[in-house]
Amino acid sequence: MADKEKKVTIGLDLGGTAVKIGIVDEAYELLAQTSIPTGAERPYEQVIADMGMAAAALLQENGWRMEDCLGVGAGCPGTIDSKNGVVLYSNNIRWDNVPAAAGLQRYLPVPVCLDNDANCAALGEVTKGAARGYRNVVFLTLGTGVGGGIVIDGRIFTGGHPGGAELGHIRNGSEHRRCTCGRYDCLETYASATALISDTKKLAAQYPESVIWELCGGEAERIDARMPFDAAQAGDVCGRMLVERYIRHLADGITDLANIFRPDRIVIGGGVCAQGRNLTDPLNKYLQENCFAASTAYVPQVITAQNGNSAGIIGAASLVRQGMR
Amino acid sequence: MADKEKKVTIGLDLGGTAVKIGIVDEAYELLAQTSIPTGAERPYEQVIADMGMAAAALLQENGWRMEDCLGVGAGCPGTIDSKNGVVLYSNNIRWDNVPAAAGLQRYLPVPVCLDNDANCAALGEVTKGAARGYRNVVFLTLGTGVGGGIVIDGRIFTGGHPGGAELGHIRNGSEHRRCTCGRYDCLETYASATALISDTKKLAAQYPESVIWELCGGEAERIDARMPFDAAQAGDVCGRMLVERYIRHLADGITDLANIFRPDRIVIGGGVCAQGRNLTDPLNKYLQENCFAASTAYVPQVITAQNGNSAGIIGAASLVRQGMR
């Protein structure tokens, strides 16, 4: 049982199918956690009520009173007005202009902070994770899309207006790939796990002898983002081409961000990062060769995220103490 | 004669051929100015001594004492360590690790601030210029290269380490153009005045009947960045193609910056901006169509800089009061 003398913080990670709820201590150690289905098809008031009540129950079940709780942080996909605690627009949960922070506060009468989930994950890697102790960090999450989070001087930078830090939506390749945002050739269309899987399906179709077909049991629909890496490791030509191309696009996007932010560290998260140094070694090599003024100025190191499945909870919980500094 | 009851600030704009020196009041109005040759081939100590003495003389000649001077701001091209007042590397004046702020302070015993010239110009547009009163501004200067300056919450953002805010060095086109920084296809290789002039020479060679040949008197070496715009205005096909292509590349880079920073305004400076709304109207149209979440989030307006030839002085002088807030 945790030390009840010390204050705790609640982190809420609101996803399309589930809401993860956790209680963390001042070192961002996860003391208790639970998960509930989002039920995003319901009116948002009901979703928020479920989240608030489940968080309050988790506190109580573990022996904390509301007075022991410093505050609640919530991370949500989409365009967030963090100053006013409003979800302006979230495609995943179909929310449009939802005052989520005020809604949660009805059930959790403590300070409530709200931010974009990628911003939260970025902050979580700074408070407890791969970039712990660093003040200036750029975070990229490589999943269905490419999300971005920027930490400047220890705090999340969301942009002058909501809708900033959309690091997956900077120009990258030149194959005229249509992005979900409407623009062409965004980084997301080359460097997301979705893009890698789609590219793998296309190229493997031209290499019937590729190891990838063994890995997926001959079923293209079973191809995942790990298979091209595994195939490349096994010396497969098709796999190598895919991995080299993927890394070049990602490296190009990361170089842009290094030239703009010149941060202490660039952290990459998402499933693809299980590749570890197979991914970061060539990324760091490219950055050393292509970063502006690499011979005279600091070149940030690229590292993989550490918070894994708890990234959302830890990041969201970090919003609370961050706002108090 | 200016009101001697009020404190003034000195702005120094250190360029490859000349140093511009100005005295500004609290509203950043230019009260007096002069200019001296840089003489960059000499040891840096002599360059700094000349700058310091010329600034001190300008103060005295106009009736101010050193006690009337709040401080000195200096803008310099290159990679600047603004925290320590050191020019890490400047190609234009061939300085390498020069403690310029400390050097100036020997002649001007007041606080001395140093920053990159594009950062200064960005700040100057916020304190007195096109973006006056805005807190979050991204600035691009389109000249020999493409320089960048970022103002976040009213202050210059230089990056976590020196060498950030290099907005000309983000990936743009796909023609494999080698950039001066060593990388390929940087925004600078498509959107600088240099790039526009080079593109104009190449395309005009394929259009012997183009109006551009009238404008330059048949001499390719006389082609400047205004001619393609003038030709396009006159209905010339070659001119139109050049302007459309130039604007598309610039618009793409600006869209990246809008998605990352979501600022109040994006300000473009440099000679090309004399085109005014011929340039900003299509840029704003592209941004409205391509910016992430344009239908639900704020889309920043693109405007042209206003400080013109005084941008360097006003921006550098702004460093002083900015640091005091």
Each residue of B74-133: pLDDT tens digit? 999 999 999 999 999 988 889 999 999 999 999 999 999 999 999 999 999 999 999 999
Same domain for A277 and A209? yes
Same domain for B144 and B78? no
Instruction: For residue B276, give Cα distances in angstroms to B252, B259, B271, B283.
Output: 18, 23, 10, 11
Spatial contact of B169 and B187, defined as CB atoms under 8 Å apart:
yes
Could you tell me the two tokens for B6? 């009020």
Q: Which residues contact A96 (CB under 8 A, 6 or more apart)?
A: A87, A88, A89, A90, B296
Q: Which residues contact B209 (CB under 8 A, 6 or more apart)?
A: none
Interface membership of A208 toward B (CB under 8 Å): no
Interface membership of A157 toward B (CB under 8 Å): yes
Same domain for B146 and B41? no
In a domain, A2, yes or no: no
Spatial contact of B185 and B172, defined as CB atoms under 8 Å apart:
yes
Distance from CA of B3 to the nearest CA of A (A): 37
User: CA B53, CA B69: separation in Å to the nearest integer?
Assistant: 14
pLDDT at B226 over 60: yes
Average pLDDT score, chain B: 95
Higher pLDDT, B256 or B271: B256
User: CA B19, CA B10: separation in Å to the nearest integer?
Assistant: 13
Count of alpha carbons within 13 angstroms of residue A265, beta-carbon side: 20
Could you tell me the two tokens for A11? 């982190």
User: CA B224, CA B144: separation in Å to the nearest integer?
Assistant: 12
CATH number for the domain harbouring residue A108? 3.30.420.40
Confidence of residue A5 (pLDDT cuts 50, 70, 90): low
Q: What's phi and psi for A314, nearest 5 deg?
A: -65, -45
Q: What is the mean pLDDT of residues A132-145?
A: 95
Judging contacts by C-beta atoms under 8 Å, the chain B residues touching residue A157 are: 152
In a domain, B3, yes or no: no
pLDDT at B324 over 90: no
In a domain, A256, yes or no: yes
In a domain, B2, yes or no: no
User: CA B124, CA B131: separation in Å to the nearest integer?
Assistant: 9
Q: How many domains does chain B have?
A: 2
Predicted structure pTM score: 0.94
Angle at A161 between CA A321 and CA A87, to 5 degrees: 65
Helix (H, G, I), strand (E, B) or coil at A142: strand
Same domain for A227 and A278? yes
Q: What is the mean pLDDT of residues A229-252?
A: 98
Select the residue of A136, A163, A165 nearest B160 (Cβ to Cβ). Answer: A136
Instruction: For residue A21, give Cα distances in angstroms to A7, A11, A42, A57, B173.
Output: 17, 6, 19, 11, 44
pLDDT at B4 over 90: no
Could you tell me the two tokens for B59? 């103060």
User: CA A51, CA A56: separation in Å to the nearest integer?
Assistant: 9
Same domain for B124 and B61? yes
The nearest alpha carbon in chain A to B95 belongs to A296
Work out the number of other CB atoms within 10 angstroms of the CB of residue A6: 12
Helix (H, G, I), strand (E, B) or coil at B294: coil
Instruction: For residue A187, give Cα distances in angstroms to A26, A61, A124, A140, A195.
Output: 36, 44, 23, 11, 10
Domain that holds residue A265: 137-305
State the pLDDT at residue B173.
95
Distance from CA of B319 to the nearest CA of A (A): 20
pLDDT at A163 over 90: no
Same domain for A163 and A70? no
In a domain, B21, yes or no: yes
Could you tell me the two tokens for B125? 């547009």
In a domain, B1, yes or no: no
User: CA A185, CA A168: separation in Å to the nearest integer?
Assistant: 10
Helix (H, G, I), strand (E, B) or coil at B165: coil
Distance from CA of A68 to the nearest CA of B (A): 34
Confidence of residue B1 (pLDDT cuts 50, 70, 90): very low
Q: What is the mean pLDDT of residues A108-131?
A: 96
Same domain for B186 and B87? no
Could you tell me the two tokens for B268? 């473009």
pLDDT at B2 over 50: no
Same domain for B100 and B180? no
Confidence of residue B321 (pLDDT cuts 50, 70, 90): confident
Distance from CA of A123 to the nearest CA of B (A): 15
Q: What is the mean pLDDT of residues A246-273?
A: 97
Same domain for A296 and A320? no
Spatial contact of A133 and A87, defined as CB atoms under 8 Å apart:
no
State the pLDDT at residue A175.
97
Confidence of residue A324 (pLDDT cuts 50, 70, 90): low
Same domain for B241 and B208? yes
Same domain for A21 and A111? yes
Angle at B317 between CA B316 and CA B319, to 5 degrees: 70
Select the residue of A88, A172, A253 nearest B296 (Cβ to Cβ). Answer: A88
Confidence of residue B264 (pLDDT cuts 50, 70, 90): very high
Spatial contact of B250 and B192, defined as CB atoms under 8 Å apart:
no
Same domain for B144 and B89? no
Select the residue of A89, A169, A262 nearest B159 (Cβ to Cβ). Answer: A262
Interface membership of A189 toward B (CB under 8 Å): no
Interface membership of A81 toward B (CB under 8 Å): no
Size of the A and B interface in Cβ pairs below 8 Å: 159
User: CA B259, CA A237: separation in Å to the nearest integer?
Assistant: 36
User: CA A302, CA A283: separation in Å to the nearest integer?
Assistant: 7
